[in-house]
């Protein structure tokens, strides 16, 4: 067991595994058998079966990328505002990546990290609710770091190394990432909700730009992202007025 310096929560307990099927699954199992501290983090450089949103697969070449999951206890956060946790973690990864990427870095709703039109990182959050509050959360983070060849059918992956031409020391990046998540998590715990929501919109891919979207079943339309609803739905102004879309109900075309 290791620990991250200069943090209050994230990575104070840091558990490394040589190989895992999934850091999220391991974190969920660990949570079921133990009483971990808030911010306990599990990571590996050889994740065999990482997942993204709605069961999509996350490709990660061994010893090339960062895959970690953090166990949180955000019981201060109402369940109806759980998307704030997603916004918080998205901002933390943005903060981390902005140290190395100086332009075109954006958060693509709901919680992917993009550089231009290419995906460099993603988040999978699995919450357990208790009444009107969150009981626990497992926050999975995957970031493409040193991988330069992608073999899956993912349409648009990119890595930090491809963007900068550099090769990175993964242990150092895990420490930096934990520090970034810790800072934003403390902001969430301090109930700086409006600041988090405002900054998320400022960093949002295609915010207030005319764009082409596709509905889940009703074809293509032109609209403009104008906000995020409290429950995390994407708000788009269309010719019908303001419409709200849940995950997988709408996607970008261009």
Q: What is the pLDDT of residues 133-147, one digit of tens each?
A: 999 999 999 999 999
Q: Are residues 148 and 234 in the same domain?
A: no
Q: Are residues 117 and 219 in the same domain?
A: no
Q: Are residues 214 and 196 in the same domain?
A: no
The pTM of the full predicted model, rounded to 2 decimals, is 0.94
Name the nearest CA neighbour of 10 among 27, 26, 22, 32. 27
Q: Which domain holds residue 160?
A: 14-202
Name the nearest CA neighbour of 94 among 117, 123, 60, 71. 123
Asked whether residue 7 is domain-assigned, the answer is no
What is the Cα 7 distance to its own chain's centre? 19
Task: Give tens-digit pLDDT for 10-61.
Answer: 999 999 999 999 999 999 999 999 999 999 999 999 998 755 554 456 678 8
* Choice among 53-57, 148-152, 162-166, 198-202 with the minimum mean pLDDT: 53-57
pLDDT band at 254 (very low <50, low <70, confident <90, very high): low
The CATH number that applies at residue 223 is 2.30.30.100
The percent of residues above 70 in pLDDT, for the chain, comes to 95
Contact 203, 106 (CB under 8 A): yes
Asked whether residue 1 is domain-assigned, the answer is no
Q: Are residues 221 and 140 in the same domain?
A: no
Asked whether residue 150 is domain-assigned, the answer is yes
């Amino acid at each position: 067991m290791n620990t991250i310096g200069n943090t209050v929560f994230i990575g104070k307990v840091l558990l490394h595994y040589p190989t895992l099927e999934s850091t999220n699954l391991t974190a969920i199992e660990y949570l079921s058998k133990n009483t971990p501290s808030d911010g306990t983090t599990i990571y590996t450089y050889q994740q065999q079966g990482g997942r993204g949103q709605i069961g999509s697969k996350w490709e990660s070449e061994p010893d090339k990328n960062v895959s970690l999951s953090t166990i949180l206890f955000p019981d201060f956060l109402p369940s109806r505002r759980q998307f704030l946790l997603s916004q918080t973690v998205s901002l933390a990864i943005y903060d981390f990546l902005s140290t190395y990427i100086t332009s075109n870095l954006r958060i693509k709703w709901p919680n992917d990290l993009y550089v231009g039109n290419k995906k460099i990182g993603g988040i999978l959050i699995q919450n357990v609710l208790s009444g009107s509050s969150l009981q626990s959360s497992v926050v999975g983070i995957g970031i493409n770091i040193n991988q330069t060849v992608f073999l899956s059918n993912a349409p648009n992956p990119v890595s930090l190394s491809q963007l900068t031409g550099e090769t990175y020391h993964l242990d150092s990046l895990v420490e930096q990432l934990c520090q970034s998540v810790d800072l934003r998590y403390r902001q969430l715990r301090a109930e700086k909700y409006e600041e988090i929501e405002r900054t998320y919109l400022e960093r949002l891919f295609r915010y207030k730009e005319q764009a082409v979207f596709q509905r889940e079943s009703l074809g293509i339309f032109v609209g403009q992202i104008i906000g995020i609803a409290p429950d995390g739905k994407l708000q788009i102004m269309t010719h019908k007025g303001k419409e709200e879309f849940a995950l997988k109900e709408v996607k970008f075309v261009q």
